[in-house]
Amino acid sequence: MMSPLLPLLSLLVSSLALPFEQRGFLDFSLDTGEGGVSMMMMMNDEEGSAIEEEIPAPPGPGPVCPFGCHCHLRVLQCSDLGLTSVPRNIPSDTALLDLQNNKITELKENDFKGLHNLYALVLVNNRISKVSGKAFQPLRSLQKLYFSKNLLTEVPQGLPPSLVELRIHENRIKNVRKGAFKGLGSMNCIEMGGNPLENSGFEPGAFDGLKLNYLRISEAKLTGIPKDFPASINELHLDHNQIQAIELEDLIRYKSLYRLGLGYNHIRVIENGSLAFVPNLRELHLDNNRLRKIPANLPDMRYLQVIYLHANNISQVGVNDFCPQGFGVKRAFYNGISLFSNPVNYWEVQPAAFRCVTDRLAIQFGNYKK
């Protein structure tokens, strides 16, 4: 059953949260003393005597919401408040803590003390450059950590073993040391694009122990496809890099891939046979590169359904570039082929070139402008 927090979490992260608007203030009751009992003197007109009457104590106060924050249903929203540190006295039952769009510079050892039930932590768009190795130690239930748009220079140490999703894009990370993700066997998704990462920045064994499903390292400085990512990856996104080619054995480790994003690179060459190592591929993004011809071996890819080739230098499309010659080879027909913004005369392409496409509307040609 889907957690009731997920819709709110998706809204917070996708929109980076609108500036928080204070809708009301907490009502504070008068202090009734240490015993929680007030004494009221009542004068009895008839007897002329003073009578002490004990008033029952009100129920004990619940967790106090940090000043300026908004607390509701185990969600604590403290975004857009100009905070320079993590608030104190966070309710221990908090499941989602939103601290994005503040001015926090450091995470200290006891910042999250007692938050054993925290499921998601949003730290997007702060100024965090220093993280204590014990800062996350109390977060034994944390599954989602959003740490993008900060000043990190390395992957934080001491991440909780329960973590499933980590987003640390748009930081200043140049190196990923060996064992950076040690003990994170539950990790499923890592987003770390927008960092100045080069191929040499990944130490051998940097991803040891991970069984990722999703990895994105876009908008970095990669010049080739790294060969040491986890073999379990289903989705790999390396768009907006400086990759020059797909060499023969670049993908040999990634047999489980079903979606590969390589758009907005400098790819001129895809070596013959290199795509044969990803036989289960469903979707391939090669748009906005420098290809001069349709990649070889596409007819042999039985499950490929979507391929983006727009905005390249492709000048012709052969009758057998996409579809196999025999019947029964392809298990899934194409439902998307984009070829617009290429110097190819679409009226010269034989209709039989798209005989394995579900519908003619799935083919996107367009005008070419130099």
Residues 165-200 pLDDT 10s: 999 999 999 999 999 999 999 999 999 999 999 999
Q: How confident is the model at residue 237 (pLDDT cuts 50, 70, 90)?
A: very high
Tell me 39's DSSP state: E
Q: How confident is the model at residue 354 (pLDDT cuts 50, 70, 90)?
A: very high
Bridging pattern class, strands 70-72 and 75-77: antiparallel
**Is pLDDT at 278 greater than 90 in this prediction?**
yes
CB 281 within 8 A of CB 314: no
**Is pLDDT at 116 greater than 90 in this prediction?**
yes
**Is pLDDT at 267 greater than 60 in this prediction?**
yes
C-alpha span between 223 and 219 (Å, rounded): 11
**Is pLDDT at 326 greater than 80 in this prediction?**
no
**Is pLDDT at 213 greater than 50 in this prediction?**
yes
Distances in Å between the alpha carbon of 155 and those of 191, 205, 218, 346?
12, 14, 16, 48
**Is pLDDT at 60 greater than 80 in this prediction?**
no
C-alpha span between 88 and 65 (Å, rounded): 10
**Is pLDDT at 67 greater than 80 in this prediction?**
yes
**Is pLDDT at 276 greater than 80 in this prediction?**
yes
**Is pLDDT at 19 greater than 70 in this prediction?**
no
Q: How high is the pLDDT of residue 47?
A: 39
Q: How high is the pLDDT of residue 165?
A: 98
Q: How confident is the model at residue 369 (pLDDT cuts 50, 70, 90)?
A: low
Cα angle, residue 151 at apex, residues 136 and 174 outer, rounded to 5°: 95
C-alpha span between 45 and 353 (Å, rounded): 105
Question: What are the start-end ranges of the E strands in 96-254?
Answer: 96-98, 106-107, 120-122, 130-131, 144-146, 165-167, 189-191, 214-216, 235-237, 245-246
Bridging pattern class, strands 96-98 and 120-122: parallel
Mean pLDDT over each residue of the chain, to the nearest integer: 86
Q: How high is the pLDDT of residue 61?
A: 54
Q: How confident is the model at residue 330 (pLDDT cuts 50, 70, 90)?
A: confident
In a 13 Å sphere around the CA of 166, the CA atoms on its Cβ side amount to 22
**Is pLDDT at 58 greater than 80 in this prediction?**
no
Q: How confident is the model at residue 30 (pLDDT cuts 50, 70, 90)?
A: very low
Counting residues of the chain whose pLDDT is more than 70, the rounded percentage is 82
Q: How high is the pLDDT of residue 51?
A: 35
**pLDDT tens digits for range 125-173:** 999 999 999 999 999 999 999 999 999 999 999 999 999 999 999 999 9
**Is pLDDT at 49 greater than 50 in this prediction?**
no
